[in-house]
Structure 1
Amino acid sequence: MFWRFLGDVMFVLHAAFLLFFVIGAFLAWKWPKLIWAHLAIVVWNLAIVIVDYDCPFTGAEKYFRRRGGEIPYESGYINHYLDGHIWPEGATPIAEKVGFTLVVIGYIGFFIIQRRRRAKLRGESVGPRT
């Protein structure tokens, strides 16, 4: 029972990690210091996608489920839990592109907001002149 619970905890942590990957830059618009944690997660996810290795969260979840007497799923977390459930089956490459696009949009917005904040602190005009 304890091992299954740990498997569920890893499932939730993994979901939170992926959600933060997608929306973290947008959260940094409000809380700018989050950008550093988010940047680390972006680098982590880029490495997983580019190098194509298994995420340690997935490995830990499978380990705990195996110790709890369950037969772990064969594929990765995204293919098992999200592909065919959150988006159409087989659309994971498109979902990855959408996720990374949202990250880029979040970063563009973050840098625009930061630039405006700094200009405002210096007393510069940040909007159109009327």
Structure 2
Amino acid sequence: MMYRILADLVVIFHLLFIIFALLGGLLVIWRNIMVLVHIPAVLWVSVLSFKGWICPLTPLENQLRLAAGGEGYPGGFVEHYLIPVIYPAGFSFDVQIVLGITALMINFVIYAFVYYWEKRRQDRTYE
């Protein structure tokens, strides 16, 4: 039972990390220091996507599921949990590249917004 709970917690953490990598740039508005955590997360997610690597959290989850008496699964977290929802027909390396580019573009837009927000805030301060 404990291993199953731990495996589920790894899945939740994995999903939260992906959401953070995609949208965490908005936290820079709250605290500028968040950029030091967010940029490496974005780079990590992008490299994983571009290289076709499996995140280390996936084997950890599989190990915990096996220890709980369940079964692991082949591939990575995205292929197992997210792709069936987003792309039910299948998953290919090309789709993985598109996901990596999408992550970078989302963050480019977010950081452009953050830059604009900060610039506006500074302009109001000096008026």
Which amino acid in structure 1 is aligned with residue 104 of structure 2? F
Which amino acid in structure 2 is aligned with residue 120 of structure 1? R
Paired residue for 2:105?
101
Which amino acid in structure 1 is aligned with residue 121 of structure 2? R
Which one has the bigger helix percentage? 2
In terms of mean alpha carbon deviation, does 95-104 or 7-16 score higher? 95-104
1:24 counterpart = 2:28: no
TM-score (norm 1): 0.81
Paired residue for 2:81?
81
**Cα distance, 1:88 vs structure 2:** 4.3
Alpha-carbon displacement from aligned partner over 1:81-111 (angstroms, at most 9, x marks no partner): 0112134433643344333211110111112
Aligned 1:4-43 pairs, distance under 5 A: 4-43=4-43
Which amino acid in structure 2 is aligned with residue 57 of structure 1? L
For residues 89 and 83 of structure 1, what CA distance do their matches in structure 2 show?
9
Paired residue for 1:117?
121
For residues 111 and 45 of structure 1, what CA distance do their matches in structure 2 show?
22
CA contact (8 A) 2:21 2:38 kept: yes
Which structure's CA Rg is the greater one?
1
Flag structure 1 segments of 5+ consecutive residues without an equivalent: 125-130
> What's the RMSD between the two structures over aligned residues?
2.0
Flag structure 2 segments of 5+ consecutive residues without an equivalent: none
CA contact (8 A) 2:23 2:107 kept: yes
TM-score (norm 2): 0.82
SS of equivalent residue, structure 1 residue 53: coil
**Cα distance, 1:57 vs structure 2:** 1.2
CA contact (8 A) 2:50 2:100 kept: no
SS of equivalent residue, structure 2 residue 119: helix
